[in-house]
Amino acid sequence: MTDELIVTTEGAVGRIRLNRPRALHALTVAMCEGVLAALEDWRGDDAVRAIILDHAPSPDGDPKYSRGFCAGGDIRLLAESGAGDGSAARHFFATEYRMNHRLFTYAKPIVAVMDGVTMGGGVGISQPARFRVATENTRLAMPETGIGLFPDVGGGWYLSRLPGRIGQYLALTGHRLDGAEAHALGLATHYLAAGRVEEAKAAIVADPTAIEMVLDELAAPPPAARLLAERQAIDRLFASDELETVFAALAADDSDFARTTLATLATKSPQTMKVSLRLLKEGAGMASFADEMRQEYAVASRVVQRHDFLEGVRAVIVDKDNAPRWDPATPEAVSDHVIDQIFAPLPEGEAWVP
C-alpha cells in the first residue's frame, strides 16, 4: 500500500480514500495498484458487502487543499515518459485502465463521493460506481484537450452515451459541470448537500444493504442545471463528427454562446479534438467496456508521445504561460491519415488486456 491511499474496513464496508491533498488526490500508479489490490481482497470476502470511494481531508485543514475528490492523473510522469520511450506512461495507462475496468465490472455496490474536483482520472474512478454522489462542491470535467490529451479512462464510453451532443461538447471544450448539471445528465445518481455527506457515509456503514434508501432519504433537490438551457444550441452546433464542420457552425452563429464556445475551442489542441470526436463516435458502438479500454490504451500510448501533449503540459503545468503552440495549428491541417495512425490497433502482445 501507499500513504497516498487509505484502505480500511468499517463494519461490512470497504473504505478507499484517496490521500494526495496537495495534488487534489491526482492518481499515481501506486494508488491505482492499491485500489486494484483492495478490490481483489474484498471480491471474495463475504464480510465486505459494499465499497465507499472518497477522498481524505487535508490533514492541516487548509481549504486550498480540501477541494478533492480527484483532479486526474500523474500528468508530470506521463509527460516525462512521453518525452522519452513512453514505457512508464504505458505502464500507468495499463494499470489505470485495469482499475477502471475492475470498478466497472465489480459485483459489489460501490459508492463514489464526488464532493469536489472530479476531473479526468477522477471521472474514471467515479463513473463505474453504482452510486455516484454529487454536491454543491462538485466540478466534473474532462479537460484533456487543453493539454493535448483526450477524454480517456472510459470517456469514449460515458460521454458518447449522454443526451444529444452534450458529450461531444464536453469532450471538446472541457466544460466544468457543477453538481446539479452532473446529476441532470445522469453522471451522478444522487445530489446531496455537502454538509450531509458524512452522515450518508455513516448510515451506509451502519447498513450497507440500504445504500439506495439512505441516499434517497438524504438527497436534496438540486438547483437548475444551467447547461441544459443550451441543449438545443449544443445539439445543433456540435451535430457533426467532423471538427471543421463544428468550427464552421460556431463561426456562422451569432449567439454569445457560440462566440464564447468558439473562443474556447481555439485554445484546444486541434489534433486531440479530432481524436476526441472519433473516440466518441466509435465508443457509442462499443460492445463492451473492455473493448473501449483496449481502444483508449492504443490511442493513449501514441498521443502521450506526440508533440501536442508535451507542449500542452509545458504551457499549462510547467511554464504556466497558457500559450501552447499546437502542431498542426488548425483542424484542417490534421490529416485523416494521422488520426488513423493514432487509432490503429496495437500488435498482439502490446494491446491492453483486463
**Which residues form the catalytic set?**
73, 121, 144, 152
Task: Check: CB of residue 300 under 8 Å from CB of residue 148.
Answer: no
Partner residues linked to 73 by β-bridges: 27
Task: Check: CB of residue 57 under 8 Å from CB of residue 106.
Answer: no
DSSP-based three-state secondary structure for 157: helix
**186 φ/ψ sector (left φ>0, alpha ψ -120 to 50, else beta):** left
Q: From CA 247, how far away is CA 224, in angstroms rounded? A: 29
CB-count burial class (<10 Å; 0-12, 13-18, 19+) for 32: buried
164: DSSP letter: T
Task: Check: CB of residue 301 under 8 Å from CB of residue 90.
Answer: yes
Q: From CA 89, how far away is CA 297, in angstroms rounded? A: 11
Indicate the Cα dihedral angle 259, 262, 264, 267, nearest 10°.
Answer: -140
Q: At what angle do helices 256-265 and 243-252 cross, to 10 degrees?
A: 140
How far does CA 271 lie from the centroid of its chain? 19
How far does CA 40 lie from the centroid of its chain? 23
CB-count burial class (<10 Å; 0-12, 13-18, 19+) for 33: middle
Cell of 90: 504505458
